[in-house]
């Protein structure tokens, strides 16, 4: 089993686009804890409240205010930072919003990706590029089996199609210009500090804290749930491998949970209810809702075999960490310390497992 290498990251210049978002904030904090010199690029903070603010992410990273749709601003940022590693997470991340704002979704997720890759190509010196897309980049499977990286790309909604297009853009830059570039397709990521609109865990935690029912759109939808630190560990390992010059690290990678952790929404709520210590009331969300895929699963065999990655926290451990984080928020704890402590605990557990494996 591979473990994130602190020696690799110490002092390394890293650019994280979308560092003010939920996943980007966790990644920026982890990189900071590893001793990296981190610069974040974003055009603002997408939610209020936010993990970026509550965990004081800006206190440990340099920040550039820029919109990935602005090619000149992105180019200027990349040239100024001269990063060794780029993690591209900036995106319009919501399926429902993509129905209301399809052109914006394509502009951010597709053209924005091209702008970041073009800037990295022109600047030179980048040893590793990791473009984060989504498990929804795949054409839906009727079989219910987990998607493999070789499965057809697709998507019947603007968000999914934009992520498939971002995959194609990335592949074109990789093959045309020889960039050390990989794309990462993660399952449904959950964790403390998520306040995204139309996302299950923020809705559940808001309901739990407020003592109100949880409104569900699709209680029987099956998703590959995983704590945010699981795929982030994969992204870090992937960047390390790319920077080592391993050409096999280029291409697409799935980072998803074990098969048993892909469960229906209803089952996830039931497990959270037990951990929260009180029953979470559930109600159907009224009205018509945009079409979404009923079942999503990922086959992460390639990452397990080739990178030595595995999800250190299975669903039960991840849900306990989430409840602990929101309980800390409820009692007014220092959420920067809380978040960094969870990162340290995750890394320590991975090291212990690696030592036991020999």
1 located within any domain: no
Averaged over 324-329, what is the pLDDT? Answer: 96
Q: How many domains does the chain have?
A: 1
- For the entire predicted model, the pTM comes to 0.95
pLDDT band at 205 (very low <50, low <70, confident <90, very high): confident
Q: Residue range 174-197: average pLDDT?
A: 94
55 is a domain residue: yes
Nearest in space to 107 (alpha carbons), one of 155, 158, 146, 59: 158
- Sequence-separated (6 or more) residues with CB below 8 Å from residue 92: 98, 101, 104, 105, 108, 109, 159, 162
Residue 123 counted as domain residue: yes
**Cβ(216)–Cβ(283) under 8 Å?**
yes
Please provide the DSSP assignment of 271-337 as one string: HHHHHHTSPPPEEEPPS------SB--B--HHIIIII----SS-HHHHHHHHHHHHHHHHTT--HHH
Is 157 inside any structural domain? yes
Residue 81: which domain range? 6-357
So what's the pLDDT on residue 288?
Answer: 59
What CATH number did the domain enclosing 85 receive? 3.40.50.720
Q: 75-107 pLDDT, tens per residue?
A: 999 999 999 999 999 999 998 899 999 999 999
Cα separation, 103 vs 105, in Å, equals 5
For the segment 293-318, the average pLDDT, to the nearest whole number, is: 91
Please report whether residue 311 resides in a domain. yes
Rounded mean pLDDT of the chain? 92
Look at residue 32 and tell me if it is in a domain.
Answer: yes
User: Quick check: is 139 in a domain?
Assistant: yes
What is the pLDDT, as a whole number, of residue 291? 57
């Amino acid at each position: 089993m591979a473990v994130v290498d602190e020696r690799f990251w110490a002092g390394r210049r890293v650019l994280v686009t979308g560092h003010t978002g939920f996943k980007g904030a966790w990644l920026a904090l982890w990189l900071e804890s590893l001793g990296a010199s981190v610069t974040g690029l974003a055009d603002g903070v997408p939610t209020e409240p936010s993990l970026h603010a509550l965990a004081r992410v800006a206190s440990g990273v340099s920040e550039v205010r820029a919109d990935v749709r602005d090619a000149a601003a992105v180019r200027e940022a990349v040239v100024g930072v001269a990063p060794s590693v780029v993690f591209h997470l900036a995106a319009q991340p919501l399926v429902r919003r993509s129905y209301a704002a399809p052109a914006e979704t394509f502009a951010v997720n597709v053209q924005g990706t091209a702008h970041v890759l073009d800037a990295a190509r022109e600047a030179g010196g980048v040893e590793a590029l990791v473009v984060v897309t989504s498990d929804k980049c795949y054409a839906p499977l009727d079989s219910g089996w987990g998607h493999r990286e070789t499965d057809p790309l697709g998507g019947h909604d603007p968000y999914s199609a934009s992520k498939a297009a971002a995959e194609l853009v990335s592949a074109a830059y990789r093959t045309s210009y020889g960039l050390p570039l990989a794309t990462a397709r993660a399952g449904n990521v959950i964790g403390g500090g998520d306040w995204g609109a139309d996302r299950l865990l923020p809705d559940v935690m808001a309901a739990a804290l407020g003592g109100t029912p949880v409104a569900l759109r699709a209680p029987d939808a099956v998703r590959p749930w995983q704590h945010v630190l699981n795929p982030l560990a994969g992204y870090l390992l992937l960047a390390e491998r790319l920077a080592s010059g391993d050409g096999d690290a280029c291409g697409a990678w799935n980072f998803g949970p074990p098969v048993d952790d892909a469960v229906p929404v209803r089952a996830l709520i039931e497990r959270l209810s037990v951990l929260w210590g009180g029953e979470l009331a559930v109600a159907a969300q009224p009205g018509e809702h945009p079409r979404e895929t009923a079942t999503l699963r990922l086959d992460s065999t390639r990452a397990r075999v080739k990178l030595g990655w595995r999800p250190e926290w299975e669903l039960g451990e991840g849900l306990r960490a989430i409840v602990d984080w929101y309980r800390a928020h409820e009692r007014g704890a220092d959420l920067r310390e809380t978040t960094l402590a969870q990162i340290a605990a995750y890394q320590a557990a991975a090291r212990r497992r690696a030592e036991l494996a020999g």
